[in-house]
Amino acid sequence: MTFELNSNNFKIRLKEARKIRKLTQQELAEKTGIPVTSIAHFEAGSRKPSLENFYKLIVILNVSADYILGRCEKMSTTGIDPITNALQDLPELERKMIEKFIISLQKE
C-alpha cells in the first residue's frame, strides 16, 4: 500500500534526516529492516515507501511525518527533548560550536 506524497520533498528530507542522524543508507536499512536498495530508491525519488516503511523511517530517524512530507520546517517530534529542539533552530555555525563544547566536556 502506498500513499500520496511529494516525491521531491520526501527524497530531500529523507536524505537530510539520515545525514543529520549520521547514518549511512546501509545503517538506516539495518535499523529499519528495509533493503538498502529501497532506501537508495526512496532518496533518488524513483520509488515511494509503503505506509509501513514510511512509519519505520520516521521512527528510526526520529522526525515528524509532517517534516519529512514537507508540511513543516521543523524536524522535531514530540519525542525529542527540549535541548535537541532548541539546537535544531540554531544556525549551523552555532550548532558546531555547541557540539565542540559538549565533546570537550565528555573528555574531562
Per-residue pLDDT, 79: 53
User: What percent of the chain is predicted at pLDDT more than 90?
Assistant: 43
**pLDDT tier, 80 (very low <50, low <70, confident <90, very high otherwise):** low
Residue 83 sits in the same domain as residue 45:
no
Residue 2 sits in the same domain as residue 53:
yes
Question: What tens digit of pLDDT does each residue of 27-60 get?
Answer: 999 999 999 999 999 999 999 999 999 999 998 9
Q: What is the CATH number of the domain that holds 39?
A: 1.10.260.40
Average pLDDT, the chain: 83
Residue 64 sits in the same domain as residue 88:
no
Return the exposure string of 54-81: e unless at least 16 CB atoms fall within 10 Å of the residue's CB, then b: bebbbebbebbeebbbeeeeebbbeebe
Residue 95's CB is within 10 A of a number of other CB atoms, namely 13
Residue 66 sits in the same domain as residue 100:
no
HEC string of 79-106? CCCHHHHHHHCCCHHHHHHHHHHHHHHH
Give CA–CA dist 104/94, Å, rounded: 15
Per-residue pLDDT, 31: 93
Distance set, CA 50 to CA 3, 4, 9, 70 (Å): 7, 10, 16, 17
- Residue linked to cell 521512527: 59
Residue 72 sits in the same domain as residue 20:
yes
Residue type present at position 64 = S
Residue 52 sits in the same domain as residue 99:
no
Is the model's pTM score more than 0.75?
no
Residue 26 sits in the same domain as residue 43:
yes
Residue 102 sits in the same domain as residue 83:
yes
